[in-house]
Amino acid sequence: MGLWDKEGIPHKGWECVGMIDLGEDADDMDFDTKKDELYEQCEMCSQEGVRYVHLMQHPDYPDELRVGCICAAKMEDDYDSPSQRERNIKNRHMRKMNFLKKEWEHRSNGNYVLKYKGKYITIMHSKYNKNYLGVAYDDMFIWEYNHQKIRDLRTAKLAAFDIYDN
């Protein structure tokens, strides 16, 4: 049962404080094997299958609610912004999937290099521990992704995308 009919839950005046794409780092194979992790239930209406979660807060309600696009629109009393946010996050996911398909040049020194939109991105092994990878782009260096050391090429590519796309 959802919260729309529950007493004490405000219906309007909510603010979206963030969005989550539950399938952000998933590739096509993940969607078949990890469906339970890639979708959740809207806390406002109980609709199943929400992948793009709008995080909503209200000054008169103590908890943050995780809702789908339609409920976010009703809660904000704004039928354009939630759709635009969702479109932006979907477009980012498509850019990421296309970026991951790019062919990187494997250099003789062990580095991987990609020229992307006129700039070079390099993935290299750490000189202190060859099990770790880092990403260099435009005078920035990253050695962690999601608060963990980068240990594989796919994760390094995800970090490279985040550097480039942010």
Q: Supply the pLDDT for residue 86.
A: 96
Residue 86 belongs to a domain: yes
State the sign of the Cα–Cα–Cα–Cα dihedral 150, 153, 158, 162. positive
Mean pLDDT (whole number) for 88-94: 93
pLDDT of residue 32: 56
Q: What was the pLDDT predicted at 30?
A: 54
23 pLDDT exceeds 90? no
Q: Is the pLDDT of residue 37 over 80?
A: no
Q: Looking at the 3D structure of the chain, how many domains does it have? A: 2
Same domain, 110 and 96: no
Burial of 108 (0-12, 13-18, 19+ CB in 10 A): exposed
Question: What is the mean pLDDT of the segment spanning 70-97?
Answer: 95
pLDDT digits (tens, 9 = 90+) for 92-125: 999 999 999 999 999 999 999 999 888 899 999 9
Check residues 8 and 166 and name the one with the higher pLDDT: 8
Q: Is residue 3 part of a domain?
A: no
**Mean pLDDT score, 73-95:** 95
Q: Are residues 153 and 89 in the same domain?
A: no
23, 91: one domain: yes
Distances (CA, A) of 145 to 45, 101, 134, 141: 34, 19, 10, 12
| Residue 35: pLDDT over 80 | no
Residues 52 and 126 in one domain: no
Domain enclosing residue 52, as ranges: 15-100
Assess whether 28 and 91 both reside in one domain: yes
Weakest mean pLDDT among 21-35, 39-53, 129-143:
21-35
